[in-house]
């Protein structure tokens, strides 16, 4: 096998001279947080997603928390969460005193479905928190119909899916709120950072106050400096101007960066389509998947174990990861608190044991994808 002359990281931020120059300008401006750059980033972001409002925050975790607060979720309420997700999706329910209830996921896509949600509904269910896993949009028509018929809110966790489209609408513009992460390896980065999108003016107003201690007036809105009231409970979940200015530049680059993810996934799929014993999500006319990573599933017939395959990638200088090696119902905190055990959510557990996440971002070249395909092929015999 021809080795690469370089190593490929699983995920890598793409920061250019433009971001660096604009960060310097912000640092020199003296206005470091909660200012005009944050407002500009929100405007650019809401226009891109197609929602009326976008509220910039310090992380996706903050956006998830603020969403549940704005939807009035609290003690006694249940929030349905897929078992295959980042722990932040579930923790946000705990933050407001609600109970996260884990639902199983579709084995092929890793996403929560109307069927798996139905199995977990109780009279206390208030919210369904969907996760567009690895960039693959959930089947939102079915989920929305179910939620509408039961009077449930939908929070979309879009931490993996910035730019993904479901039936002509961007993810994050389908439920009551959309929550994004700008962690360094996501489709765009602001170092740390997040965004809450919504079409609901009340949610946008509450989120924008509650991200800043629940204060009624931003500094620039106060007639006399120092005078303000606090009508709400709130946190310090603000985005800095440095993060916002990076976000503005990153949004300009996003369409090209996402195209490269989509093209890379198409090319890899074309290379591996005849290899036996593997599966992955298929292209469809109804969705666009911007592929946070390429999720490869090893079926029973594949003779190499997932962990051995990961080692083969490492030997060839290619970084991989696992999303997620432990489903949330089996994480110590949740297992102990709610008494889950292995076997409770079988698809989520199978995904944890048999999938590998491959790099697919803009820095990955055709020759890298060809080597990935070679590794998958040689280990299939
Ligand atoms: C699905 C999902 N939700 C939420 C988060 C939390 O994002 P943040 O680190 O911006 O709080 C992540 C982080 O990677 C994630 O993958």
Domain of residue 263, CATH code:
3.90.1150.10
160 lines ligand 1 (CB under 6 A): yes
Q: Do 286 and 145 share a structural domain? A: no
> Going along 117-245, which residue ranges are E strands?
125-131, 153-157, 165-166, 169-170, 177-181, 194-198
pLDDT for position 241: 98
Q: Do 230 and 271 share a structural domain? A: no
Q: Do 146 and 158 share a structural domain? A: yes
Task: Judge whether 186 counts as a catalytic residue.
Answer: yes
Distances (CA, A) of 232 to 177, 215, 236, 297: 20, 7, 13, 46
Report if residue 7 sits inside a domain. no
pLDDT for position 3: 61
Distance from the alpha carbon of residue 45 to the mean position of ligand 1, in angstroms: 18
131 lines ligand 1 (CB under 6 A): yes
Report if residue 8 sits inside a domain. no
pLDDT for position 4: 61
Report if residue 165 sits inside a domain. yes
Q: Do 87 and 60 share a structural domain? A: yes
Last residue of a domain, one of 185, 220, 251: 251
Domain region containing 171: 17-251
3-state secondary structure of 154: strand
The tokens 């489209």 sit on which residue? 165
Q: Do 309 and 219 share a structural domain? A: no
- Kindly list the averaged pLDDT for each block of 10 residues, start to end, along the chain of length 381: 77 96 97 95 98 98 98 98 98 98 97 98 98 98 98 98 98 98 98 98 98 92 92 98 98 98 98 98 93 98 98 96 98 98 98 98 96 98 93
Residues 6+ away with beta carbon under 8 Å from 273: none
pLDDT for position 221: 87
Instruction: Look at the chain and report how many structural domains it folds into.
Output: 2
Domain of residue 167, CATH code:
3.40.640.10
59 lines ligand 1 (CB under 6 A): yes
Last residue of a domain, one of 230, 251, 272: 251
pLDDT for position 220: 83
Q: Do 102 and 240 share a structural domain? A: yes
Last residue of a domain, one of 251, 268, 288: 251
Distance from the alpha carbon of residue 85 to the mean position of ligand 1, in angstroms: 9
Report if residue 12 sits inside a domain. no
Q: Do 244 and 258 share a structural domain? A: no
Q: Do 207 and 84 share a structural domain? A: yes
Q: Do 357 and 264 share a structural domain? A: yes
pLDDT for position 180: 98
């Amino acid at each position: 096998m021809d080795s690469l002359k370089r190593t490929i990281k699983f995920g890598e931020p793409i920061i250019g001279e433009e971001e660096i120059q604009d960060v310097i300008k912000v640092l020199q401006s003296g206005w470091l947080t909660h200012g005009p750059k944050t407002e500009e980033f929100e405007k650019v972001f809401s226009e891109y997603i197609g929602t009326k409002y976008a509220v910039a925050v310090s992380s996706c975790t903050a956006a998830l928390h603020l969403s549940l607060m704005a939807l009035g979720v609290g003690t006694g309420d249940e929030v349905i969460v897929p078992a295959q997700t980042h722990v932040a999706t579930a923790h946000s329910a705990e933050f407001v005193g609600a109970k996260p209830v884990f639902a199983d996921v579709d084995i092929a896509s890793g996403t929560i479905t109307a069927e798996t949600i139905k199995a977990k509904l109780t009279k206390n269910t208030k919210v369904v928190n969907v996760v567009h896993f690895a960039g693959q949009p959930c089947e939102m028509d079915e989920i929305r119909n179910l939620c509408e018929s039961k009077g449930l809110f939908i929070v979309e966790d879009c931490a993996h899916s910035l730019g993904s489209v479901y039936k002509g609408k961007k993810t994050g513009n389908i439920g009551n709120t959309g929550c994004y992460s700008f962690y360094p390896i996501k489709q765009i980065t602001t170092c740390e950072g997040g965004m809450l999108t919504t079409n609901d003016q009340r949610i946008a107003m509450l989120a924008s106050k509650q991200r800043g201690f629940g204060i009624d007036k931003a500094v620039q809105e106060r007639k006399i400096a120092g005078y303000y009231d606090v009508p709400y409970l709130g946190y310090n979940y603000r985005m800095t101007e440095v993060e916002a200015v990076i976000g503005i530049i990153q949004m300009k680059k996003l369409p090209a960066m996402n195209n490269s993810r989509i093209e890379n996934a198409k090319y890899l799929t074309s290379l591996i389509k005849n290899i036996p014993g593997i599966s992955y999500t298929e292209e469809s006319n109804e969705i666009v998947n911007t592929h946070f990573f390429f999720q490869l599933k090893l079926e029973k017939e594949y003779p190499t174990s997932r962990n051995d395959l990961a080692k083969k990638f490492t030997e060839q200088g290619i970084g991989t990861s696992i999303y997620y090696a432990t489903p949330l119902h089996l994480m110590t905190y949740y297992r102990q608190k709610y008494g889950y055990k292995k076997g409770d959510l079988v698809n989520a557990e199978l995904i944890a044991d048999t999938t590998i996440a491959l790099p697919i971002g803009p820095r990955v070249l055709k020759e890298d994808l060809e080597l990935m395909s070679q590794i998958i092929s040689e280990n299939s015999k």
